[in-house]
Amino acid sequence: MREPAVLTTLGGVRTVTGSRFLVEVGDRRVLVDAGLFQGLKDLRERNWDPFAVSPRTIDAIVITHAHLDHCGYLPRLVNAGFRGPVFVTYDTGKLMSVVLPDSGRLQEEEARFANRAGYSRHRPALALYTEDDAWTALDRLRPVHFDEDLEIVPGVRARYEVAGHILGSSSVRMTLGNVPGEEVTVTFSGDLGRQEHPLLRPPAPIGDTDWIVIESTYGDREHASDDTVDRLAELIDRTVGRGGKVIIPAFAVDRTEVLLYHLHQLSEQGRLPAVPIFVDSPMALAALSVYRDAIDGHAVDVRDDLHGDGTLFELPDLDEVLDAEGSKAVSRMSGPAIIIAGSGMASGGRVVHHLEKFLPDPANSVALVGFQAAGTRGRSLMDGADSVKIHGRYVPVRAEVCDLSGFSVHADGSELIDWLGTATREPSGVFVVHGEERASLALRTRIMDELGWNAVVPTDGERLDLHIARPARPTRRNASVAVSPISTPGDEGGEDAGMPMTIEDARARLTVADHAVLSTLDPDRGVHAVPVCFALVGDHVVVPVDRVKPKSSTALRRVDNLDADPRATLLADHWDRHDWRQLWWVRADLARVDDADVDISLRTALTQALRDRYVQYRTAEFAALVVFDIVSVSGWAATS
């Protein structure tokens, strides 16, 4: 018998940080990514909340890559009692050994600063975790190779595939269940790189999978064509010509390495003026050595043509700034220079004091080369702020600010769609995560329009059932539950819309998946999509109604009164796109069969059939079963 499998989003939905996805198979629990919330204060505060499930009950953790928004919460989980293995690729493990202790150090510094300055919600202010905690957490790492299947807990296998986002980064395909032929596969994209990352191989194809969880950082954007390096070269020329400094806030891991690679190329081509280049970040320098080792050591995810090339990052005027005194000296230096420093979104780190010093002078420039999350100084600069707040005072922005997000290590909307296109078949559904809401919704729309697949942007804390429609097993003749795959969006047809139909016609038409991903309407949040279980039972369609999402009559009226609803645009958008499943659901609710019409023995049979079939999907929380007459439901589907 198949075991229940549920995915719960515990972060990293409708935001780009705090990636945490809990996979439960029977009584086993695996957490995919343990990311820190970053950016806006409300989000950061969530790092202090107790974790949604006791960390002791998590059997294993799978980390996709070494960025803090995917691994930075790990020490906190270990502090709170997590005792299982943490599976990582070798280079992810090495890079985590660079970033986690640094993160702990930073947390301690912030706590000390908060105590001195007297602000904090804790008295005395505490560090979320310390550098020591980070080292303790790192003891739990279990490095694995790319492209190998391994059982991480009984009945859960994982395979790490190249994601090409940063060194060691992976997509993870998990196979759940241990009965051959009855497993369910779910593929987590992790963060996806681009086709033309200068150092790394592009993301591996998806292949065969039942469910896909995909990031959408740039789901609503297309990167400018590849003139980014030229624009960087021009910016350096302009700035040096004015006698100014180019400040580049850069993530220590990958951004700095890619920048040095490009500067090396420009230098080889004679396009780089002879000015000092400072890498003012001990963490970036440590990460650089991990990259060098990987290239020397022929790491699987490094581009074939670079293997063994020791000169990639060589620059004649490179200065590695290790200590804080050196950093201050760089700030005091006159004359043109290029300064690369963290953090990448200028929310902390040494780049902040460089910005404080250099932003007010129009001779200088700032190159923004990575994603800038809402609430960070980098985002303010990108949005054209006149001033930014640094160390409690507003610093005027007179320096030139240049958006070079073409350097992004994230795939853009089209690249994400292309990656999905590498799946060898249509999955049961796609969950769109790891993006600001607008980006995730935009990608979801593209997936539905361009691929014709079910796609959902889950809400925070949502439980998503990972079971799939299988070809109906031979059960009793005239079985009380018969399930076949859902019709595709193209099937709703129009030629016989609204025509009277027989029960047999209706049954043929209304082939209902057991876990169609349906959009529903939530009175508080507008259009909201959740997977909803259905069963076709005799001449009836049965839908379990979730207690937390009752379909109230107010919600229904909104559909019939599009113009009057403040969210009409969103609704109209769905309408235009013939997202009939949403309308069907809503309409079905409008005209459901009166309970009195369903005799009690049938009702009992329906209840039992659903409970048997959907034991995994919040069964205990079902508020009610709603029974629809098959002909009327099909009719609505046809006319919507």
Selected from 91, 108, 191, 210, the binder of Zn ion by CB under 5 A is 191
DSSP label of 72: T
Buried-state track 275-293, b at ≥16 Cβ within 10 A, e below 16: ebbbbbbbbbbbbbebbee
Q: One symbol per residue from 91 to 130: x for binding Zn ion (CB under 5 A), - otherwise; what is it?
A: ----------------------------------------
**Whether the Cβ atoms of residue 119 and residue 94 lie closer than 8 Å to each other:** no
Minimal distance in Å, beta carbon 434 to Zn ion?
9
Tell me which stretch binds Zn ion (CB under 5 A): 115-123, 191-199, 326-334, 373-381. Answer: 191-199
> Residue 319 Cβ, how far from Zn ion at the closest point, in Å?
27
Other C-beta atoms lying within 10 Å of the C-beta of residue 147: 12
Q: Which is nearer to Zn ion, 291 or 636 (CB)?
A: 291
User: Considering the complex, what minimum distance in angstroms separates the CB of residue 540 from Zn ion?
Assistant: 47
The CA–CA distances, whole Å, from 250 to 214, 342, 350, 433, 629 equal 25, 5, 11, 24, 59
Residues 441 and 455 sit within 8 Å (Cβ to Cβ) = no
Q: How far is CA 209 from the centre of its chain?
A: 18
Judged by CB, which is closer to Zn ion: 36, or 633? 36
Kindly determine how many residues on this chain lie close enough to bind Zn ion according to the rule CB under 5 A: 2
Nearest to 462 by CA among 525, 505, 514, 415: 525
Of 16 and 266, which CB lies nearer to Zn ion in the complex structure?
16
Smaller CB separation from Zn ion, 288 or 521:
288
Binding flags for Zn ion, 44-73, as an x/- string (CB under 5 A): -----------------------x------
- Least distance in angstroms from the C-beta of 33 to Zn ion: 10
Beta strands (DSSP E) in 494-570 are 517-522, 526-531, 535-537, 540-546
Beta bridge partners of 302: 200
Do 598 and 627 touch, CB atoms closer than 8 A? yes
* CB nearer Zn ion, residue 407 or residue 534: 407
Least distance in angstroms from the C-beta of 164 to Zn ion: 11
Using the minimum distance from each CB to Zn ion, give the nearer residue, 133 or 191.
Answer: 191
Q: 310 and 341 in contact (C-beta within 8 Å)?
A: no
Beta carbon nearer to Zn ion, 63 or 506: 63
Minimum Å gap between C-beta 101 and Zn ion is 19
Q: How far is the CB of 545 from Zn ion (least distance, A)?
A: 38
Q: Give the span between the Cα atoms of 263 and 267, in whole angstroms.
A: 6
How far apart are CB 437 and Zn ion at their closest, in Å?
19
> Which of 33, 465 has the CB closer to Zn ion?
33
By C-beta, is 67 or 587 nearer to Zn ion?
67
Distance CA 598, CA 603 (A): 6
How near is the Cβ of 200 to Zn ion at its closest, in Å? 13
Tell me which stretch binds Zn ion (CB under 5 A): 84-92, 144-152, 183-191, 465-473.
183-191
The tokens for 57 are: 């009950």
Question: Are 622 and 544 a contacting pair, CB within 8 Å?
Answer: yes
H or E element that contains 340: strand 337-341
Residue 163 or 559 with smaller CB distance to Zn ion: 163
Place of tokens 């059960």: 475
Pair 342, 282: CB distance under 8 Å = no
- Considering the complex, state which of residue 43 and residue 481 has its C-beta at the smaller distance from Zn ion: 43
**Residue 339 near residue 332 (C-beta atoms within 8 A):** no
| 3 counts as binding Zn ion under rule CB under 5 A | no
- Asked if 510 and 541 touch (Cβ cutoff 8 Å), the reply is yes
**What one-character-per-residue DSSP string does 131-173 give?**
HHHHHHHHTTEEEE-TT-EEEEETTEEEEEEE--SSTT-EEEE
Are 182 and 2 in contact by the 8 Å Cβ rule? The answer is: yes
| Cis amide prior to 428 (ω within 30 degrees) | no
Select 67 or 201, whichever has its Cβ closest to Zn ion.
67
**Are the C-beta atoms of residues 460 and 43 closer than 8 Å to each other?**
no
**Piece of 189-197, 330-338, 589-597, 599-607 that binds Zn ion (CB under 5 A):** 189-197
Of 412 and 579, which has the nearer Cβ to Zn ion?
Answer: 412
Least Å from the CB of residue 185 to Zn ion: 23
Choose one: 187-195, 311-319, 343-351, 560-568; the region binding Zn ion (CB under 5 A). 187-195
Residue with tokens 């016609």, as numbered in its chain: 505
Q: How far is CA 92 from CA 141, 377, 425, 623, in A?
A: 10, 28, 30, 44
Task: Please identify, using beta-carbon distances, which residue of 245 and 434 lies nearer to Zn ion.
Answer: 434
**Which CB, 165 or 613, lies closer to Zn ion?**
165
Q: Smallest gap, in angstroms, from Cβ of residue 65 to Zn ion?
A: 6
Least distance from Zn ion to the Cβ atom of residue 253, Å? 9
Smallest separation (angstroms) from Zn ion to the CB of 224? 20
Longest dimension (CA), the chain: 87
| Contact yes or no for 322/286 (Cβ under 8 A) | no
Dist. CA 3–CA 24, nearest whole Å? 10
Bridge-partner residues for 528, per DSSP?
A: 520
Task: State in angstroms the smallest separation of the CB of 44 from Zn ion.
Answer: 18
**Least distance to Zn ion, CB of residue 66, Å:** 8
Q: Which residues bind Zn ion (CB under 5 A)?
A: 67, 191
